[in-house]
Amino acid sequence: MDSVYLKRDKAGRINIKAGNRVNSVINWTVLSLTLLTVTAFLFFDYTGLEIGRAIMETAVNLRTMFLQPSLNHFSWGEALFQVGVTISLAVIATILGAVIAFFLALWSAVNLANKWVSKSIKIFVAFIRAVPTVLWVLIFAIAAGLGSEAAILGMLFHSIAYLVKAFSEAFEEVDKGMLEALRSTGSGWWHTIVHAVLPSTSTYLLSWTFLRFEINFSVAVAMGAAAGAGGIGFELFMASGFYFDLREVGFITYAILLVAIVLEVASTHLKKRYFSS
């Protein structure tokens, strides 16, 4: 909402100035970041850098990567299997996280649970959410050893915290009159959840769960090599860092992009088919 600032000049006249403090903060922040970025580029060491040659070599690498994709170190069947491994890691972490987060979110929504219980859960998940998913995966990789277990535990830990916030905010938007009407008729807590909360928030729950699944898929790709989880992420690491096969990197990139598009289409289709109003 815009604010109006009144300021009296030396002659006693009052000047009226309309403005928005939020916009001012955003503008100054963007300006500061822009100046810092420009300053950083000025202090880079450009010794031995040939801009023209660098641009040409980058263009050649990009052309090789994205216009000539191919598989050279593993077969199509192995590629599909590795993609399936990565998707499976994301599915397990997302489903377990969504189920656990659903019940925690019910207890953390201020209109459904005790105020102190709600605050305690929100503080706890805020702490978990403050640590990036990749870092949680690496923490569990150190604690539990390299492997798919570390990747699933790390993604699960952060998925729960992420979805608790999303689900609880959706629950708190449920019409208060509907909740009071059910309670006034003697409906119990769980009866209220089933007949008022779930029908009103099912679309949001599905949307947030699919969004988290897409995030977990990208994390599973990134952690394929770092956490020893395997999957298409490990093959991408081998192709880029070990074989330096740009054509294979391009193929794997297209495969990951295709899976992401399929997930988005599936999410949209499910929402339209089962949760359209």
Residue found by looking up tokens 């008022």 in the block: 196
Which pTM was predicted?
0.75
In the chain, where does DSSP find H-type helix? 21-42, 51-67, 76-108, 115-130, 133-144, 148-172, 176-184, 189-192, 198-226, 232-237, 246-274
SS3 call for 196: helix
Confidence band, pLDDT 50/70/90 cuts, at residue 1: very low
Highest mean pLDDT: which range of 14-18, 73-77, 89-93, 228-232: 89-93
SS3 call for 15: strand
At residue 178, does pLDDT exceed 70?
Answer: yes
- Cβ within 8 Å of residue 191, ≥6 positions away: 182
Q: Go through the domains of the chain in sequence order and give each one's CATH number.
A: 3-65 (no CATH), 74-274 (1.10.3720.10)
- Cβ within 8 Å of residue 9, ≥6 positions away: 15
According to the model, what pLDDT value does residue 107 have?
92
The pLDDT tens digits of the residues spanning 2-43 come to 455 555 555 555 555 555 677 788 889 999 999 999 998 888
Report whether 113 contacts 106 (CB < 8 A).
yes
Q: What percent of the chain has pLDDT over 90?
A: 18
